[in-house]
Structure 1
Amino acid sequence: MQTVETVQEQIDKYTSLSVEIEHSINENNIDKAKTLLKEYAAEIQNSKTYSFQAIIHFQEGNPEEAINVLENGVKEHPFNFSLHFNLAFIYGVTQKFEESFENYIYAIKYSVTNEERENALKGFQEVSKLAMEEKVYTTSFIQKRMKELEKILNQHDERVYPVNINGVSMIRKPQHQGTPNEYMVNMYKTYGIEDVDLKTRMLFKSELVKGNTLKGEREWSTKGPVVIPISKTNDSKDVHIKVNEKKYTLTKDHLPINQYNYIRISDEGRIIISADEEIFVGHPIELEPKEKPVKLVLKIFVDGLSYQFLEDVGLEEAMPNTYHFFKEGMITTNCQTTNEWTYPSKAGINTGKYSNYHKMLQPEYPYTLSESHKMLAEYFKNEGYYCANISGNWRTTPSFGYYRGYDRMIYQNFMGAFGAKEILMEAIEHLSSFSHTNNFLTLSLLDLHNVADEIENHLYSQVHTDMTEKINEKKRGTTSVQTKFDKNKVSKYLQEIKRIDNLLEVLYNFLLNNYKMDDIVIILHSDHGQSFLSDTFNLLGDQRVRVPFMVRGKDIKPDITDELMETIDIFPTILHQSKLDIPNDINGRLPVSFGGKEEREFTFSQIIHPNQTYKVRIKEKGISYYLETKHNVFPDLTVNMKGFTSKIVDHFTEKDITDKWVSKKHQYDQYVFNHMKNMLRWEE
């Protein structure tokens, strides 16, 4: 009988293989290295795999193939020092100096040790010297380019939107020009304020609109009433609009520079817009298109809302308006988040993929979601919906890649006071304005963040918090995620939930008064719960990972289900209920409760956070499997699983029952290894 290797034995095996491959390459025994690498790469596609393959190609005289391998490696492992360093070196050897410079800078940025940083600096200096010797660049050009590239080392992250990562305002500066995703951001309802900077960016709203720059003239043909958003990019002259044979001139007084101006044209026919200086023209919005089977898809995201807490308190008690609205639809009680905080969790919800695939995990470095991961909004845009997002969520700004699919985005950082009240009123105005349009609308409400962040500025919550609960017992953690149990925070959390529910009632009533439920699909969900709700600190405990997921609308029968679900299942559920096809390249599944074929046997939640141990919880209906590594996750997101510990815990007694479930433990050890094998590292 063949003995099955344990995960620890597999780790030792691939560690040894990696060492042997590296030794063979260093000894210039390429044939042996290739043989060993074939065995290694059959199972492991980590950063080492790409480096080994590239080095072998280079030593065999195939630098272009080596570059191709490394470019693919950087896509999969964007923060890895060695991949950028090797890529920079080979680009330099092949005299592709600009590419070499840039990758050496990224190698410096992602270096962990002083030795790595010094090697990258030395490499940059050597390739600069070579470029000057070959008379490709002058000394002054190299110095100027170095200063430009140094900006990469000091970039902000995408939370500073509508300022870019280099600290420059994006207001009225068209982005992604010449692509289908071209857009421009302008101010929104600011009355006299024309721009923002790093200091003022949180104080004002902005509006993103998809369209194209125009200088000269452009023509459209319409079959019904449309609205065309127009914005100046500078204090330009008049804009001329010709509708069929009638001409209109819009002067500076008609078109304030610090906003989009929505121009309604009711007559069908031929429209010509012309301007002598550059303006930005949004794509025409059809006001009376042919209705879709689902006319409105509305996704309401409430950040940090724990379903475990709602169940403990009573959903009807905590959120009576939400309960009465969604009891006519499907309320799921067993949806688990795949990640413990907003950044990776929201990316998973919007792509239907686990975080080790979408890579939205490293909070210290700028990173834009890869276009290889199609966003939920893109599916609706491709089907002809008018797609809009109204949000105060700094972890899902357009700069992170969330502009894809959306026609219109209203944003202000929540900390600048763009909360549920304002967002819900903007949503009602949006739906009232485009009442006959097929709408896909997403809302992000961050008000519950106030409790963990110890901000108390909402009247309702203050009035309903007694003096005995006013003073928090414990201070905020290093982040809101790390905030520990505090019974006074628990009380304030309930009041904030009630406040949001009161505000949501206005939206629910608007929907009931203006739509037939068979024409719409409404979703309410969250990304994670709260750690401070439980006196046992566990970032993968039920108060943190169990979240609400409720759906009402077309073809949804009233029901409550305890089917195991993951937050990435929200993605296929929304598509299915909206009568759109579900793609095959996602990790999310359509739950049986919504028409799927097979229930999940378990849910998978993980924590991949730099400088913290890697953690996993796999939940069945009666037991949970927990895994934690000995070593912290590295800055490049690689994980060393040597010496990991794992156990099985009974849900009801919370006791370790691993001795009764040894085979189950080994099964899940292997599952985690297979799940993470391409992000593993062997060095400590």
Structure 2
Amino acid sequence: MEQYNYPIVNDFVFDIMKADETSEIHVVPQESAEILPLAAKEDKQKISFHRENMARTMQLSRGEFNFYRVEEPTTIRSDSPFLVGKPIVLQHSPRRRKLVLNILADGLAWNALRDEAEELMPNLLHFFSKGIIFENNFSASEYTYPSLASIETGLYQHHTQIARPGVPFALDPSVVTLSEQMKHLGYCCTNIQGDGEGIYNGATRGYDRLIVNHWMERTADGVERTIRHLQTFDECDNFLFMHSADTHPYNADISMSAYASVHLPLDEVLLPQTSVASVFLKKNILTQCINRHEVQGADRQLGYLFDYITAHYDDDEYVVLLYSDHGAPVYARSPYLLSEEQTGAALMARGAGVPARGRVDELTSTVDIYKILGKLAGYPIDAPYLDGNLPAVFGGQRRAYTVSNSIYPGQTYKICVRTEQHAFHLETTEFTREDGTVSLDSYTYHIHERNDDYREIFDDALARQFLDIVWNYTKSFRR
């Protein structure tokens, strides 16, 4: 790239697999057939396949994985090293579901758009109304990088230590990620579409295959890849993660949606251009129009996927979770970074083990997703270090409050504690330090009602209750 760190319009897709290097491998399938991923390391490399009564040589392109079905003892060799991925065992187990699908609808601001859901997201409503739609779910962080790590670990940001893109922090090896849990259960784990950042910090280290691109993560592409994957690997139990970004309001110097520029008057389209991060975007008609249109488009494509799932799987054969990592500031009614609209995130579930409750008002957090899936899939969720909560609707307990915070070195520390009735916003005077620690020697705070009035509350006893929560939450990184 001529310009460093300018990836926005880079739509190059990487297909990444964990693999071993070898010049010869002898494969002996055990109880059932296996799929063996192979890739050449050299241009026009010749790889030969030998089994009883068969000898073939194939010329393969460098760096592209091919998938071969092996049903009998087979020897594969080449004159120079080639790559072999983990074999995919073609076998269903009654202890697993045939499909577990996690859909990350990046930036889907459910809190802001739920009253328009019948118009904007009819397919989501129709599908998940036969499961659970959490109306009061909030993200633990305000943007994707730390939020994804919290979702994949069930840990708050100060426990993952994933603080800022480009800073080389990685998850401690003792942390078992969500995808590692599913891998231990025997699922074929594939990140069918993602942004790739979880590769570096370890958040997505349990996936054997990752199809990633930094920005251009269209729902339509992810849906088509998902269906093709399910058709291809229909003889094994699949755990898939699909991250789509067209539901995310963006701020980039690229051509905007033609829908918005055609339907809005010129003075609403020609807004002052700014390079601020999308999390700091202000409320405006243009971005709202673009976002609503993209949400509608994503919902259309997801409807296609949901139809495929219900047509090919029985209700007890699949689990589908759809969630967002944060909301969108362009709908915010308050001046706080951690507003209801910026941290109000989607969380929906349907399938085996999910009660058909429809919309529920129970408070939940994105750190709860780890335990919710564990309850449904069967991996352990009782580790004492986990921060998430199993919601009451799944047999756990109702949350008394949720916590969202912004730990970003070089910016003030911000935290919002929400109960069912109130939101407590606190912001420090000093900036968060490079090591992620904060000072609460000087700060401001506000309490408001969580309703349409946003009425500010002045109550010393209530403030003391919230401050006690903040003091306890920040004790490990407060200096």
Normalising by structure 1, what TM-score? 0.65
1:417-470, CA deviations, whole angstroms, 9 ceiling, x for partnerless residues? 4422112111111111111210000000011335444655556x4587444686
1:426 corresponds to which residue? 225
Partner of residue 119, structure 1:
none
Residue number in structure 2 paired with 1:295: 98
The verdict on how the C-alpha distance between 1:292 and 1:465 changes in structure 2, with shifts beyond 3 A counting, is farther
> For the residues of structure 2 that align with 1:274 and 1:666, how far apart are their CA atoms?
70
Amino acid at match of 2:462: K
- In the alignment, structure 1 residue 590 sits paired with structure 2 residue 390: yes
- What is the SS of the residue equivalent to 1:562? strand
Q: What aligned pairs does 1:521-540 form with structure 2 within 5 A after superposition?
A: 521-540=319-338
Summarize the alignment of residues 254-269 of structure 1 with structure 2, pairs less than 5 Å apart: 255-265=60-70, 267=71, 269=72
2:111/2:136 contact within 8 Å kept: no
Check whether the contact 2:320–2:350 (CA below 8 A) recurs between aligned residues.
Answer: yes
Q: Please, which of 363, 367, 373 is the counterpart of residue 169 of structure 2?
A: 367
Contact kept? 1:474, 1:486, Cα under 8 Å: no
- 493, 503, 507: which is aligned to 2:305? 507
Letter of the 1:410 counterpart: I
Partner amino acid, structure 1, of 2:429: K
Aligned to 1:310: 113
Point out the more displaced range, 216-225 or 422-431: 216-225
Contact 2:39/2:82 (<8 A) preserved: yes
What is the 5 A alignment of 1:389-404?
389-396=191-198, 398-404=199-205
What is the distance in 2 between the residues matched to 1:200 and 1:355?
Answer: 25
1:246 aligns with 2:53: yes
SS at match of 2:413: strand
C-alpha distance in structure 2 between counterparts of 1:529 and 1:494, whole Å: 13
**Equivalent residue for 1:179?**
none
Match for residue 331 of structure 1?
133
Work out the CA distance in 1 between the residues paired with 2:48 and 2:196: 38
2:89 maps to a residue whose letter is: E
Q: Could you tell me how far apart the structure 1 residues matched to 2:305 and 2:267 are?
A: 31
Partner SS for 1:630: strand
CA distance in 1, matches of 2:295, 2:24: 52
* Residue of structure 1 in register with 2:377 after alignment: 578
1:622 is the counterpart of 2:421:
yes
Aligned residue number for residue 47 of structure 1: none
Distance (whole Å) between structure 1 residues aligned to residue 314 and residue 253 of structure 2: 41
Equivalences for 1:431-446 in 2 at 5 Å? 431-446=230-245
Is the CA contact (8 Å cut-off) linking 2:47 and 2:58 kept in structure 1?
Answer: yes
Higher mean alpha-carbon deviation, 348-357 vs 372-381, is at 372-381
- 1:446-461 mapped onto 2 (5 Å cutoff): 446-449=245-248, 451-453=250-252, 455-456=254-255, 461=259
In the alignment, the residues of structure 2 paired with residue 403 and residue 340 of structure 1 have an alpha-carbon distance, to the nearest angstrom, of 20
Q: CA deviation at 1:222?
A: 2.9
SS in 2 for 1:679: coil
1:250 maps to amino acid: T
Structure 2 regions of 5+ residues with no counterpart?
none
State the secondary structure of the residue aligned to 1:202: coil
How far is 1:541 from its partner?
1.1
- Write the letter of the residue equivalent to 1:546: G
2:192 partner SS? strand
Q: Which amino acid aligns with 1:524?
A: L
Which position in structure 1 is the counterpart of 2:154?
Answer: 352
Measured at CA, do residues 204 and 626 of structure 1 come closer, stay the same or move farther in structure 2, by a change above 3 Å? closer
CA distance in 1, matches of 2:376, 2:117: 24
1:545 equivalent in alignment to 2:343? yes
1: CA distance, partners of 2:142 / 2:100: 26
CA distance in 2, matches of 1:350, 1:242: 41
CA spacing shift, 1:532–1:592, aligned 2, 3 Å: same
Deviation at 1:609, TM superposition (A): 1.1
Indicate conservation of the 8 Å contact 2:336/2:425, yes or no: no
Query: What's the counterpart of residue 353 of structure 2?
Result: 555
Q: Is residue 384 from structure 1 mapped to residue 183 from structure 2 by the alignment?
A: no
Q: Which residue of 2 aligns with 1:34?
A: none
Return the alpha-carbon distance in structure 1 between the equivalents of residues 136 and 328 of structure 2.
16
Moved more, 358-367 or 502-511: 358-367
Q: 1:220 is matched by which residue type in structure 2?
A: V
Deviation at 1:201, TM superposition (A): 10
The C-alpha deviation readout for 1:29-78, integer Å capped at 9, x for no partner, is xxxxxxxxxxxxxxxxxxxxxxxxxxxxxxxxxxxxxxxxxxxxxxxxxx
Change (3 A) 1:489 1:235: closer
CA contact (8 A) 2:41 2:63 kept: no
Segment of structure 1 superposing worse, 217-226 or 628-637 = 217-226
Equivalent residue, structure 1, for 2:314: 516
Q: Which residue of 2 aligns with 1:637?
A: 436
Change (3 A) 1:512 1:217: closer
Which runs of no fewer than 5 residues in structure 1 stay unpaired? 1-155, 161-197
Distance 1:494 1:600 in 2: 31
Q: 1:377 to 1:446 in 2, by over 3 A?
A: same
User: Does the CA-based 8 Å contact 2:217-2:246 persist in structure 1?
Assistant: no
Q: Which has the higher helix share?
A: 1
Question: Which SS does the other structure have where 1:569 is aligned?
Answer: helix
Which position in structure 2 is the counterpart of 1:225? 33
3-state SS of 1:410 partner: strand
Counterpart contact for 1:473–1:487, Cα < 8 Å: no
**Paired residue for 1:648, among 428, 444, 447?**
447
| 8 Å CA contact retained: 2:288, 2:330 | yes
Which one-letter code corresponds to 2:339 in the other structure? G
Shift in Å at residue 403 of structure 1? 4.4
Counterpart pick for 2:77 among 261, 274, 282: 274
CA RMSD, aligned part only?
2.5
User: What residue is the counterpart of 1:657 in the other structure?
Assistant: 457
Contact 2:44–2:61 (CA under 8 A) maintained in structure 1: no
Moved more, 202-211 or 610-619: 202-211
Secondary structure in structure 2 of the residue aligned to 1:449? coil
Cα distance change on mapping 1:468 and 1:237 into 2, 3 Å:
closer
Quick one: which amino acid aligns to residue 26 of structure 2? R
Q: How much has 1:263 moved relative to structure 2?
A: 1.1
Which amino acid is 1:407 matched to? D
Aligned CA distance change for structure 1 residues 308 and 476 (closer, same or farther; 3 Å): farther
Q: Name which of 671, 675, 682 aligns with 2:469.
A: 671
Contact 1:387/1:439, CA 8 A, preserved across alignment: yes
> Partners in 1 of 2:448 and 2:461 — Cα distance?
14
Q: Which structure has the higher relative contact order (CA within 8 Å, separation 6+)? A: 2
Counterpart amino acid of residue 47 in structure 2? V
The alignment partner of 2:476 has SS state of helix
Q: Distance in 1 between matches of 2:118 and 2:330?
A: 22
**Counterparts of 2:128 and 2:414, CA distance in 1:** 34
Contact 1:475 1:483 in 2 (8 A): no
What whole-Å deviation, never above 9, does each CA across 1:188-218 have from its counterpart, x for those lacking one? xxxxxxxxxx999934222122331112443
How many Å separate the matches in 2 of 1:200 and 1:275?
40
The residue that corresponds to 1:13 in the other structure is: none
Whether the 8 Å contact between 1:469 and 1:491 is mirrored in structure 2 is: no
Distance 1:630 1:316, change over 3 A: same
> Aligned partners of 2:35, 2:365: CA distance in 1, in Å?
39
> Is 2:171–2:202's contact at 8 Å kept on the other side of the alignment?
yes
Helix, strand or coil at the partner of 2:137? strand
* Residue 555 (structure 1) shift: 2.5
- Is contact 2:194–2:244 with CA below 8 Å preserved after alignment? yes
Aligned length: 474
Shift of 1:547: 1.0
Decide whether the 8 Å contact of 2:249 with 2:287 is kept in 1: no
Number of the residue aligned with 2:121: 319
Structure 2 SS opposite 1:564: strand
CA–CA distance in structure 1, aligned partners of residues 136 and 471 of structure 2: 25
**Kept after mapping to 2: 8 A contact 1:341/1:527:** yes
Query: Is contact 1:647–1:656 with CA below 8 Å preserved after alignment?
Result: yes
TM-score normalised to the size of structure 2? 0.92
